[in-house]
Chain A
């Protein structure tokens, strides 16, 4: 598949999406992934810009979550996975033998589909990542925790019960806590694997609002089943189908005037 780079933005769009016109932050070059003998990703090439929201869409089983998990090497945890091709973040190949996956994950955070707060207090949940990366001082911890909870639009709701169990929060609040936990360590990139799929519409709307806020400071890649969500919040959209990248372009173009027939069929709901 020929390499698709970020298309040139019209001047008014460029102003609205800072950093997108510069060198791409994430380069995925001819990547194939095998689960044993089964080829899950076929020669994927695309470049993702800095501080924009990129959505991966496609029907179930098309490989979008698999590709997302490659970006922070979470696929290392699965036996029998083989990756071919290059994935470069900030110019550095992340699958190189001298790259420490721990360091990578400090800078590429992840939020999962089913919220997974630790069975600890809200404070301890956010503090966990901070302590892992050397923040020990009590007052600094408190400042960073408040900063992250504010950044995840959760501070006002939990500021009086920071030391109560995180499991007592509602589903939407737990997911925002997971986002707070991820942004606390100040990653450059946040990967979100269907973050709102288990939430009710009100909670989903809050998460989407949050993503639009977060994109000012972080690069976000979001996998979503919900096409309308992709249309609402993302700047660029990549459409995948059975392990292949079918089309990658600005969201506006994908949803109003896609180049490929298959893309048009998917976004208009003829299959999926």
Chain B
């Protein structure tokens, strides 16, 4: 074995066995590090366990009642007969209102976020008021949105539309799919705005400078460089909005949901049935809870599956957009 002799002016440490032949293992067990990492793992498991319990409970109880017949039948007025009941109008109603909501909330949310990030001076009074408004909007209880929808969309806008269009009967001035969707759009606006803002802020400022230095206007920079980059983040906002809105019942109570409709909703002015509301109806109006329980679970399971399906579609589209952006764009 080669040994190196240190030069003479350095102290001779070659015989100093205690310092460098000692192992590198820890002297004692670090309890607190172990405890904290264990604690965080346990917390995660706890959340997963709760989620699993809820899902398993629903699946186990509802799987027996769900069938192709169930999801494709328009039920008669008696929802509680397991043989003739169905949830097709509720599926269609929920899906329609979520889709119409998305059509309104994404453009308005994105444009607001673009204004706040790209145009507004960050310290001006207007900007601060808008931000405060967005934050407070996020904290408003859902039922208040329902009342707002009734008072503003139906009684003000709807009734005036009927007046201007000379409708003899109320067409727009009553609960309708469009008003429920707009109410939901107002409710999920903060989610879309925040998600869009985060994705806009994540774009490095160098890209904006490069575009402007080439003689692009701010608008051209936003449309050609910024928005395409921010698209995945905007879609995340949309996914969050859809997930939230699909399950909400309070905002649609006064603005468009109906206890029973004989046919599927066809126009924006139609009322509609809804999966979440149907769960409420089945729980509270049922004459025989034992008989209704499987139908109830099956309805809940259908709602979960519908939300899941809407999310999967959106996530797949977003993944494709991301892949395209990474490839070349």
Contacts and interface: CB of A to CB of B under 8 A. Distances in A.
Given A103-B215, A105-B215, A132-B214, A74 B329 contact: no
Majority secondary structure, A binding face: mixed
A117 B210 CA distance: 8
A153 B209 CA distance: 24
Interface string B176-215: 0000000000000000000000000000101101111111
Interface stretch (A91-99, A178-186, A216-224): A178-186
Contact of A182 (B214, B229, B327): B214
Given A119-B229, A163-B328, A165-B328, A185 B207 contact: no
Nearest to B208: A77
B49 interface: no
B121 to A, nearest CB: 6
A19 interface: no
Contacts of A178: 210
B328 A120 contact: yes
Interface in A155-200: 163-165, 178, 181-182, 185
Interface string A110-121: 101010111111
A151 interface: no
A116 B327 contact: no
Given A77-B212, A109-B213, A112-B210, A128 B224 contact: yes
A128 B211 contact: yes
B210 A118 contact: yes
A178 to B, nearest CB: 7
Given A102-B217, A118-B225, A164 B328 contact: yes
A79 interface: yes
B210 A102 contact: no
A106 B206 CA distance: 18
> Most A CB atoms within 10 A — which of B207, B213, B217, B224?
B213
A58 to B, nearest CB: 22
Contacts of B329: 118-121, 124, 165
Contacts of B39: none
Given A124-B329, A165-B328, A165-B329, A74 B210 contact: no
A129 interface: yes
Contacts of A72: 213
A165 B323 CA distance: 12
Contact of A181 (B204, B209, B214): B214
Majority secondary structure, B binding face: helix
Contacts of B81: none
Contacts, number: 69
B325 interface: yes
Given A119-B229, A165-B327, A185 B210 contact: no
A105 B215 CA distance: 5
The number of chain A residues touching the other chain, given as a range, is 20 to 34
B328 A106 contact: no
Given A112-B210, A114-B206, A185-B214, A132 B220 contact: yes
A124 B224 CA distance: 11
Contacts of B204: 116
A132 B215 CA distance: 8
A102 B215 CA distance: 5
B55 interface: no
A90 B120 CA distance: 34
A165 B326 CA distance: 8
Nearest to B214: A129
Interface string A65-76: 000000010100
B130 interface: no
Interface string A126-160: 00110011000000000000000000000000000
Contacts of A109: 213-214
Nearest to B217: A102
A116 B214 contact: no
Contacts of B211: 118, 128
Nearest to A132: B216
Contacts of A124: 328-329
A74 B217 contact: no
Contacts of B212: 74, 77, 105
A128 B329 CA distance: 12
Nearest to A167: B326
B213 A110 contact: yes
B209 A116 contact: yes
Contacts of B209: 74, 77, 112, 116
Interface in B221-243: 224-225, 229
B215 A133 contact: yes
The 4 closest A-B pairs by CB, nearest first: A116-B206, A110-B213, A129-B214, A105-B215
5 contacts: A119-B207, A120-B329, A132-B215, A132-B220, A185-B215
Interface of B: 121, 204, 206-207, 209-217, 220, 224-225, 229, 325-329
Given A109-B214, A118-B329, A128-B214, 6 more contacts: A74-B212, A103-B215, A116-B207, A118-B207, A133-B215, A165-B328
